[in-house]
């Protein structure tokens, strides 16, 4: 089926607006992924050190926390940090871009 090349100005504006929104959404999500990954790495390190140290030094931890439990503790904290920070970053970026868009429209 051939595409109709004669589009009304309204259709062109709405397609351009949609492209801008998609580009903005990609930017927001990319920033969220980067911030979430950084947070996950820091959370892993911050959790791994005391977890591994406690298993070596505390008799209760040595008796009850096998390697799987240690990995589960560390990965749970890293995953939580990733999703919390990524979500907050995406929302903050979208909010910031929304305010910019509204001030440009009114000006």
Per-residue pLDDT tens for 4-59? 555 665 566 676 688 888 888 898 899 999 999 999 999 999 999 999 999 999 99
Distance of alpha carbon 83 from alpha carbon 39, whole angstroms: 9
**pLDDT tens digits along 61-92:** 999 999 999 999 999 999 999 999 999 999 99
Distance of alpha carbon 29 from alpha carbon 83, whole angstroms: 12
Is the per-residue pLDDT at 101 higher than 70? Answer: no
Return the pLDDT at 98.
77
Is residue 11 in a domain? Answer: no
Return the pLDDT at 85.
97
Closest CA to 73 of 46, 100, 33: 46
How many structural domains does the chain have? 1
Return the pLDDT at 11.
60
Is residue 75 in a domain? Answer: yes
Distance of alpha carbon 61 from alpha carbon 48, whole angstroms: 14
Is residue 10 in a domain? Answer: no
Give the burial class of 2: count Cβ atoms within 10 A of its Cβ; 0-12 exposed, 13-18 middle, 19 or more buried.
exposed
Is residue 85 in a domain? Answer: yes
């Amino acid at each position: 089926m051939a595409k109709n090349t004669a589009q009304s100005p309204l259709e062109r504006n709405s397609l351009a607006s949609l492209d801008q929104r998609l580009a903005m959404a990609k930017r927001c999500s990319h920033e969220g992924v980067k911030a979430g990954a950084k947070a996950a790495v820091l959370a892993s390190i911050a959790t791994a050190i005391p977890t591994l140290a406690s298993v070596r030094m505390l008799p209760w931890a040595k008796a009850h926390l096998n390697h799987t439990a240690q990995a589960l503790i560390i990965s749970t904290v890293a995953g939580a940090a990733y999703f919390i920070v990524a979500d907050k970053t995406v929302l903050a970026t979208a909010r910031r871009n929304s305010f910019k868009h509204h001030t440009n429209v009114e000006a």
